[in-house]
């Protein structure tokens, strides 16, 4: 029995090194500071796949908010709207920007107020079961650049 499990462990080790694997890397991650009492905050970041297999990001979670999801902004009949994005595919070597006016991390109902300078832990869930823990920094919005961020749900 012991010999068999050692054999299996060796096989798994070999399989583990040979298998192509995607790897999500999150950088430049920030959350736009919102006025006190705001129930919705948006997070932005660069998501890259540093691995050698495709990955799919399914959603996000944060203990600091009652709900989190991935959103995209679409223009329907000239009106900018947000809708949930249920899957974000990243080919090996590809990266995608979550940026104002486009795809973003939607954080709803903060459990405590968040202020500029705070760090918020966010977890991305991948289709292969991987969970990627990241930290977003709350940052004050720069003047007018964010005025286009008023969307209708
Ligand atoms: Cu949104």
Which contiguous run of DSSP H or E holds residue 123? Answer: strand 119-126
Which two three-digit tokens encode residue 64? 């600091």
CA of 132 to the centre of ligand 1 (A): 21
pLDDT reported for residue 19: 81
Cβ-in-10-Å burial (0-12, 13-18, 19+) of 72 comes to middle
139: nearest Cα among 56, 57, 55, 45 = 45
pTM, entire model: 0.80
Using only C-alpha atoms, the chain has a radius of gyration, in whole angstroms, of 19
Cα 82 to averaged position of ligand 1 atoms, centre (Å): 5
Q: Specify whether the CB–CB gap between 136 and 43 falls below 8 A.
A: yes
Domain map (residue ranges) of the chain: 22-141
* Ligand 1 centroid to residue 138 C-alpha, Å: 16
Q: Which tens digits make up the pLDDT trace of 114-134?
A: 999 999 999 999 999 999 999
Which residues are paired to 119 by β-bridges?
137
CATH fold of 22-141 reads Immunoglobulin-like (2.60.40)
Q: What is the pLDDT of residues 39-89, one digit of tens each?
A: 999 999 999 999 999 999 999 999 999 999 999 999 999 999 999 999 999
What's the DSSP call for residue 53?
Answer: S
């Amino acid at each position: 029995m012991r010999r068999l499990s050692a054999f299996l462990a060796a096989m798994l080790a070999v399989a583990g090194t040979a298998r192509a694997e995607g790897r999500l890397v999150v950088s430049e991650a920030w959350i736009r500071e919102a006025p006190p009492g705001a129930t919705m905050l948006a997070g932005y970041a660069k998501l890259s796949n540093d691995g050698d297999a495709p990955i799919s990001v399914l959603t996000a979670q944060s203990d600091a908010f009652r709900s989190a999801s991935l959103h995209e902004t679409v223009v329907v009949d000239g009106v900018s709207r947000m809708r949930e994005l249920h899957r974000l595919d990243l080919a090996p070597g590809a990266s995608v920007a979550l940026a104002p006016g486009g795809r973003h991390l939607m954080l709803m109902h903060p459990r405590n107020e968040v202020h500029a300078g705070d760090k918020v832990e966010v977890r991305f869930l991948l289709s292969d079961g991987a969970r990627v823990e990241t930290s977003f920094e709350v940052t004050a919005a720069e003047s007018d650049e964010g005025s286009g961020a008023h969307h209708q749900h």
